[in-house]
Structure 1
Amino acid sequence: MPKYNRIILKLSGEALACQEGSSIDSTVLKSIAKQIKEVKDIGTEVAIVVGGGNIWRGATASHKGMERATADYMGMLATTINSLALQDALESIGVVTRVQTAIEMRQIAEPYIRRRAINHLAKGRVVIFAAGTGNPYFSTDTTAALRAAEIGAETILLAKGKVDGVYDSDPLTNPDAKKFKELTYIDVLNKNLGVMDSTASSLCMDNNIPLIVFALNQEGNIKKAVMGEKIGTIVKGENND
């Protein structure tokens, strides 16, 4: 039996891209969709938040002179493109999926309605939350934390493309970086570890939502996390078991 009955899976936009730099890689999409189906088939309700960094980064554009709100709204559209691509990959293997957007785009997706999202999950559908929170200045990490609290998700699975957990420094540049097996959100904030932005970390901490950080490029890891196997790094609130 799975350890978690309802989860939020947080995917970065970069996780959908191949190493050669294309914005969306069909092989990667199929692999992710297959792993999500495995989790759904064991009875876990799956909601997903996708980033847009493979297409557009609002913060980067704003640093180059673009007005921040405009840049962030463009980033929300990028997350919607990724969400539709993931929906197509899931439905091609028989997984019924709904995309809900925080900004209304009725011709291509449902507007985000909390009760409707919960109803979809109860009926065995995968729900993908697109367009962030619908507000500039908030990241998709914050979206994942917010939606997890709203729908009563038991954990957030933070799937990373290049690292397999949380380290005390960047393991891609420092071969001596130390990996943490377990942390608290206070540790993350005090040590400025950059797992999620501070708003998202605080929201998870306040609502006692555990976070599991792991490598997406190892097939089967999503299921392992859902089953409660010890992979990656788990970040807990003070009141989590």
Structure 2
Amino acid sequence: MPEPQYKRILLKISGEALAGDASRGLDFDVIGRVCDVIKKCSEAGVQVGIVVGGGNFWRGVKDGGDRMERTRADHMGMLATAINCLAIADMLEQKGVDVRVQTAIEMRSIAEPYIRSKAIRHMEKGRVVVFGCGTGNPFFSTDTAAVLRAAEIDADVILLAKNIDGVYSADPNKDPTAVKYDSITYDDVLAQHLQVMDSTATSLSMDNKIPVILFALKDPENIYRVIMGEKIGTIVKEEK
């Protein structure tokens, strides 16, 4: 039986992906399938940390626009991620997975405060750790939070599960000539302004030399395929 290629991963799941075709709210069939694969990864001996977006409920400045003060709009987005974290944690527990939720904004009655050493200890004991509330600071995306947590917990790789199956030279929904990359460097992502992650998240992953693999969550089994070494989606890494 093949061995996992990574010992510890940081899985970033977009909020929109959890909403399924509805694009808003929670699709528990989708969440259930994702959690089945997370359980499979954990049982294979992989230590799993998860950062979840909140776009299925609220997208900070995008939804707040000029109608709200930016900091408050971003705080609302952080609370949206906490809702998604609790939904994932509950589903994992239903499937017999030991899980802990840690949040960057303290809400002790429903989650642990984020403590790096405690998160690592949980993962070493085989628990899945779900990180909520982004970085706890406005003006930073949950993609940046994913890279930050990955760096803090010494993750081998960041798995970016989104609604697109890889990195393209242009928006494939708008440009039929867009080319999908199997591999691309951080520098090229930044230079071409490609929509992998925001520039802050990309720069942070580059500075910390953490490879990022972007793939579609439409088939949750892609998560397992990636950790087992299959070439899925696009890998963003240093130039060799």
Q: Under a length normalisation based on structure 1, what TM-score does the superposition of the two structures give? A: 0.96
After TM superposition, the structure 1 = structure 2 runs for residues 110-189 of structure 1, keeping only pairs within 5 Å, are 110-161=112-163, 163-189=164-190
CA distance, structure 2, for counterparts of residue 22 and residue 57 of structure 1: 11
After TM superposition, the structure 1 = structure 2 runs for residues 85-96 of structure 1, keeping only pairs within 5 Å, are 85-96=87-98
Preserved CA contact (<8 Å) 2:20 2:26: yes
Preserved CA contact (<8 Å) 1:204 1:237: no
Preserved CA contact (<8 Å) 1:159 1:216: yes
Tell me whether 1:5 sits opposite 2:7 in the alignment.
yes
After TM superposition, the structure 1 = structure 2 runs for residues 72-111 of structure 1, keeping only pairs within 5 Å, are 72-111=74-113
Preserved CA contact (<8 Å) 1:55 1:78: yes
CA distance, structure 1, for counterparts of residue 24 and residue 230 of structure 2: 33
CA distance, structure 1, for counterparts of residue 238 and residue 64 of structure 2: 33
CA distance, structure 1, for counterparts of residue 158 and residue 39 of structure 2: 17
CA distance, structure 1, for counterparts of residue 228 and residue 50 of structure 2: 18
Instruction: Tell me how large the CA RMSD over aligned residues is.
Output: 1.0
After TM superposition, the structure 1 = structure 2 runs for residues 48-59 of structure 1, keeping only pairs within 5 Å, are 48-59=50-61
Q: Could you tell me which residue of structure 1 aligns to residue 41 of structure 2?
A: 39
CA distance, structure 2, for counterparts of residue 56 and residue 219 of structure 1: 23
Give 3-state SS (helix, strand or coil) of 1:221's partner.
helix
Q: Could you tell me which residue of structure 2 aligns to residue 217 of structure 1?
A: 218
CA distance, structure 2, for counterparts of residue 39 and residue 146 of structure 1: 22
Q: Under a length normalisation based on structure 2, what TM-score does the superposition of the two structures give? A: 0.97
Preserved CA contact (<8 Å) 2:17 2:23: no
| Equivalent AA in structure 1 for residue 226 of structure 2 | A
Give 3-state SS (helix, strand or coil) of 1:7's partner.
strand
Give 3-state SS (helix, strand or coil) of 2:22's partner.
coil
Give 3-state SS (helix, strand or coil) of 2:12's partner.
strand
Preserved CA contact (<8 Å) 2:16 2:24: no
Give 3-state SS (helix, strand or coil) of 2:20's partner.
coil
| Equivalent AA in structure 1 for residue 47 of structure 2 | E
Instruction: Point out the more displaced range, 11-20 or 151-160.
Output: 11-20
| Equivalent AA in structure 1 for residue 173 of structure 2 | L
Q: Could you tell me which residue of structure 1 aligns to residue 194 of structure 2?
A: 193
Q: How many residues align?
A: 238
Give 3-state SS (helix, strand or coil) of 1:205's partner.
helix
Q: Structure 1 regions of 5+ residues with no counterpart?
A: none
Give 3-state SS (helix, strand or coil) of 1:19's partner.
helix
Instruction: Give the superposition deviation at 1:28.
Output: 0.5
Identity over aligned pairs, percent:
59
Q: 1:69 aligns with which of 64, 68, 71?
A: 71
| Equivalent AA in structure 2 for residue 69 of structure 1 | T
> Which 4+ stretches in 1 moved above 3 angstroms?
none
Q: 2:22 aligns with which of 20, 34, 49?
A: 20
